[in-house]
Structure 1
Amino acid sequence: MRERLVVVGNGMASLRFLERLTEGAPGLYDVTVVGAEPVAAYNRVLLSSLLGGEVDEAACAFRGLDWYESHGIRLITGAPVTAIDRENALAIVGETHVLPFDKLVLAVGSTPIRLPKPGIDLPGVITFRDLADVAAIRRAAVRHARAVVIGGGLLGLEAAVGLSRLGIDTTLLHVMDRLMERQLDHAAAGLVKRAMEARGVKVMLKADTASIDGDGRVESLTLSDGTVLPADLVVMSVGVRPSVALAQGAGLETGRGIKVDDRMATSDPRIFALGECAEHRGMTYGLVEPAYEQAEVLSRHLAGEAGAYQGTALATSLKVSGLPVFSAGVVDTPESAEAIVLSDPGAGLYRKLLVEDERLIGAVFVGDIGEQGWCKALIRSGEPVTGHLDDLMFGRPAAAPSTPQTLAA
């Protein structure tokens, strides 16, 4: 009999794992995947485009139900796993349904953080994380509505851009002194701020929310300096926390996330975790690339192949209001490193390379990100960059045209 594999969660990490497992070891396991959302896995990266009306929900879908069926995967949607009975090797779905397992994969993602501020539970305060959030925001974003987005990280910027595309009067608040401070230095963040404002988004930095106010629903937001902003809709986008409640209830070892080793195994060797819920060597990741790398490693391990996850050197590549942005490695210049900078604010162009001991330790590009793949490879490999700096900064020259050869008569 085939071993019973139950996968809890049907997000992007879960689907990538299933794709790789069925490619590398088709039919090896009797697979059941359980998702709390009412639809199969979809592309969360497109949520801001969906919010802004650039794409429809069908464009966000990855695999149709026929794909799961054709690969022998039993898919259960709209039914959260509420408990794990490790003693009897059972995943409890809802209140009464049980799924026996020989191996279990937790790909339960993360939950959006809601700041503990007065008025946080008023109707009209919405997070920005999934399809249901997009639908709720669009219902609230009626004509002439005023929206305030809290959080100047990647998701906050995406939410603000999406609302702006709907023609909504949108203000973005960020408590730090620059947008995306984990990925961008001040100069790059300044260009992103300009791009947001060019799209009609008002950006307020060093803006700390004191309270959300209203009688029965959101009417305004008050900052710690006393400034009052009228608001019909408040989108909370201040980060996420790994979902650990299910693992904790089962007695698995957790820290910030569900602790895993290099094979993505938890403290119970029958149970694995990957994606945003997993904590590997003290690190949790809220990006797609690490989740996909973890999915590759786990699929190989469960197929009986060698493989180990070594961690991911984080890199960010995106478009903010049509402006390409890339960062990898160190962002702010340490005393021991040299910063090589090309800046043309008028053209919306900025490049910074951080070099230490002849090795690239960080890169920030805005406007032109043509060498992003090369930069990521150099940061990860530690290869000396001597002789490459001009090409990294200005782009590699196009190959010279070949000289036609005259054939001898």
Structure 2
Amino acid sequence: MNKNIVIIGGGIAAVNAIKAIRELDQISDIHLIQNENYYPYYRIRLTKSLFEPLTIDKLMIQKQDWYEQNKVHLYLGREAVAIDTEKNKVSLDNGTELEYDQLLLANGASNAIPKIEGIEKSNVHSIRKLSDIATIRAHVADKHVILCIGGGIQNLEAAWAMCSQGKKVTIAEFQDRLMPRQLDAKASEILQNAVKSNHVQILLNTAITKITGTKEANGAVTKNGRLIECDMVIYSVGIRSNTALYENTPLEINRGVVVDHHMKTKLDNVYAAGDIAEIDGRVGGLWSIAMEQGKIAGYSIAGKEASYSGTVPVTNMNAFHLSIFSIGDIDENSSDHTLVEESPDDSTYQRIFIKNNRIVGAIIIGDPGNNMLIKKFVENKLPLPDIDFTKTTVEDLIQQIKSK
């Protein structure tokens, strides 16, 4: 049966949904609404290549002809402005109306705007779109001191990029260490020392309350009254699902659009996936989660039984002369054993978390050569050989699982 499938949003969830649909259904019409003028691209690469030569061709998730081959009708640079769930119509900002049999909401999230006085000043930036990179590049040449509000992955990569341009950088982080969700205390310490060794100032347990200046920022003030010098600000303090479009519909909205494990909303023909979707009270917020949810939504739309059962969180970062890899559950209190190896100069650090004779998490700083092997064991919940973990090193474990 030929159906009209409309997808709002042009991220990885949308692309993976199209792939899944086309595995089972080659004839239905698919309409993809993307509010940027570009084909869907890898947003996670933006801060990784802030000052490198960057073209959309290098960033695109799929090449242009893939959309033609899969008979996807693209609406680039168009915004969905209204949804009528009774008439099954989506209205675009140019007056176009698209009728749908099934609708996928995949319009993601926006960067959360912190409640800081002066956050609206012209040289205060956040990175979510390709145009944000262009804006920063266009205005950074005469800037000397960059304040990064938030010490997560995105801002650490941005800080590293600014260092590479000879800028003085300060990172203000609300929590008591860097990347606490991805790293244990020792790994955070190694990262912090590497950042400081590149002449970056780190302010932990620090909340910014005000950005000073008239039209442009010329400084910031912390909660305890400390003045921080800066002439550009980049903030990254989490995300907020783009739910505004759905507020006057019957859809259930909390943090995101609420879905079940088939990625279906309370309306039988409407699905949601990626950063817009809330499942079990949580919004994913990770690329890997959006990939999997998009696939599950696509299968569900095409009529295949599929259920989202969670995605193992994976973090990769290369910055400040460190390669950092983190995967899975890194809470030592929920593990039966942890294996740790570290070098005296802190150039390498490896910690493997084991529970029920399986690797459930890992932190690797240094050589990434075994990262994919560890990822395979974590994601597939593969059993480990019969080992006395109290007498085993990380290297011993790696050698044994390589031979499996």
The question of a shared fold, defined as TM-score above 0.5 by the shorter chain, is answered with: yes
Corresponding residue for residue 5 of structure 1: 5
Moved more, 374-383 or 189-198: 374-383
How many angstroms apart in 2 are the aligned matches of 1:343 and 1:399?
Answer: 21
Q: 1:385 to 1:209 in 2, by over 3 A?
A: farther
Distance 1:386 1:199, change over 3 A: farther
Name the counterpart of 2:399. Answer: 396
Q: Does 1:303 align with 2:328?
A: no
SS at match of 1:75: strand
Q: CA deviation at 1:8?
A: 0.3
**Which residue of structure 2 lines up, in the alignment, with residue 341 of structure 1?**
340
Name the CA distance, whole Å, in 2 between partners of 1:50 and 1:340.
34
Change (3 A) 1:60 1:199: farther
Paired residues of 1:351 and 1:363 also in contact (CA < 8 A): yes
| Contact 1:50/1:134 (<8 A) preserved | no
Q: What are the within-5 Å matches in structure 2 for residues 164-313 of structure 1?
A: 164-313=163-312
Amino acid at match of 1:169: K
Shift of 1:336: 6.7
1:53–1:165 Cα contact (<8 Å) kept: no
Give the gaps of 5 or more residues in structure 1. Answer: 401-409
- Judge which range, 264-273 or 222-231, deviates more: 222-231
8 Å Cα contact 1:148/1:173 also seen in 2? yes
Residues 57-76 of structure 1 aligned to structure 2 (within 5 Å): 57-76=56-75
Aligned AA for 2:289?
P
- Any idea what SS the aligned residue of 2:141 has? coil
* Mapping 1:33-182, distance limit 5 Å: 33-53=32-52, 55-94=54-93, 96-182=95-181
Report what 2:14 is aligned to.
14
Please tell me whether the aligned partners of residues 358 and 384 of structure 2 are also in contact (alpha carbons under 8 angstroms). yes
Structure 2 counterpart of 1:406: none
Q: For the Cα contact (< 8 Å) 2:350–2:363, is it kept in 1?
A: yes
Number of aligned positions between the proteins? 399
- Gap change, CA 1:286 and 1:130, over 3 Å in 2: same
Q: Which amino acid aligns with 1:348?
A: S
RMSD (CA atoms): 2.5
Partner of 1:407: none
Letter in 1 for 2:90: A
* Pairwise CA distance, 1:197: 3.1
Q: Residue 143 of structure 2 contacts residue 231 of structure 2 at CA under 8 Å; is this kept in 1?
A: no
Q: Deviations over 1:275-332 (max 9, x none)?
A: 1111122232111111111222222233332321111122223323342212223324
Relative to structure 1, the CA distance from residue 243 to residue 393 in structure 2 (aligned partners, 3 Å threshold; closer, same or farther) is farther
Q: 1:223 to 1:104 in 2, by over 3 A?
A: same
Q: SS in structure 1 opposite 2:340?
A: strand
CA 1:163 to 1:309, structure 2 compared with 1: closer, same or farther past 3 Å? same
C-alpha distance 168-242 of structure 1, shift in aligned 2 (>3 A): same
Preserved contact between residue 146 and residue 233 of structure 2 (Cα < 8 Å): yes
Distance 1:272 1:88 in 2: 16
Residues 388-397 or 1-10, more deviating: 388-397
Deviates more, 1:254-263 or 1:103-112: 254-263
Q: Secondary structure at the match of 2:299?
A: helix
Paired letter, 1:88: K
Structure 2's unaligned 5+ residue stretches are: none
Find runs of 4+ consecutive structure 1 residues off by over 6 angstroms: 397-400
- 1:221/1:284 CA distance change after superposition, 3 Å: same
Moved more, 196-205 or 103-112: 196-205
AA partner of residue 8 (structure 1): I
Matched residue of 1:117: which SS? coil
Q: Would the aligned equivalents of 1:140 and 1:233 in 2 still touch at CA under 8 Å?
A: no
Contact 1:157–1:320 under 8 Å retained in 2: yes
Cα drift, residue 45 of structure 1: 1.9
Shift of 1:374: 4.0
Deviation at 1:235, TM superposition (A): 0.6
Does the aligned pair in 2 maintain the 1:144–1:169 contact within 8 Å? no
**1:358 Cα offset (Å):** 4.0
Greater displacement, 276-285 / 362-371? 362-371
Pair 1:224–1:345, CA change in 2 (3 A): farther
